[in-house]
Amino acid sequence: MTVRTDRVEVADGTFDLPVWLPADGHGPGLVLIQEIFGLDGYLRSVAADLAELGYVVVVPDLFWRIQRNWSSGHDEAGLNASLEVSGKFDPALGEADVLAALRHLRGLPEVRGGAGVFGFCLGGSLAFAAAAHGDPDVAVSFYGSTVPEQIALLDEITCPIQFHFGGQDPYIPADSVRRVEAAVAGHPGAEIHVQEEAGHAFHNHVAPMFHHPEAAATAWRLTTAFLRRQLPA
């Protein structure tokens, strides 16, 4: 596996875009979108896992306007620091950066067979918005907190999309998840999976306060099966 860092120019500056290449050097592309913890060990491990499956993976540095290459710990201090940084984040500019990363990804010679967006938490919300306002070939959204309140955007999404939520998430109430379930039921190409025993950020294996191993494993199996169907590597 090869890892390098590209640069992407947008209207108000330039941000870093780390790139993970699969072993054979090419494949479909995925824009992997961060949680508030930034490009930490967890997100790097997810990028490596996806590259091992055959995808070219890029991770935009979303907080570059606030603090470049942000990464924090996953204890209370790290969470509070990340909340402070993310409180200064402009979601509209972040979505624009995601779409710029998608355009850059599609232009790479190593990318063959389409490109999608894939996000966790903050990134789950941005993946959903990018699917509505952009043209990814597939989208995966893990526990995006703004998804329920923006679920009307689902009508604008034409690519296959998969949602994941935890049934015990204190940040996304069960009635909000039910709104997403109702919308997904009437939208071709959309699916939703709720790990009823899990809370928020249950896939993050380096955050003991959030991680739920069984739910994480189940959701990952569902995700990789979805990607194999919709964006095969």
Of the listed 61, 169, 203, 211, which one is catalytic? 169
Exposure pattern of 132-153 as b/e (b: 16+ CB <10 Å)? bebebbbbbbbbbbbbbeebeb
12 is catalytic: no
Q: 3-class DSSP state for residue 19?
A: strand
Quick check: 38 and 82 in contact, CB under 8 A?
Answer: yes
Quick check: 110 and 4 in contact, CB under 8 A?
Answer: no
Distance from C-alpha of 104 to C-alpha of 196, rounded to nearest angstrom: 37
Which segments within 86-197 are labelled E, that is strand? 111-120, 139-142, 161-166, 190-195
Give the neighbor-by-neighbor strand order of the sheet with 2-10.
2-10, 13-21, 56-58, 27-33, 111-120, 139-142, 161-166, 190-195
159 is catalytic: no
Of the listed 104, 164, 200, 203, which one is catalytic? 200
97 is catalytic: no
Of the listed 121, 203, 211, 212, which one is catalytic? 121
Annotated catalytic sites, by residue? 121, 169, 200
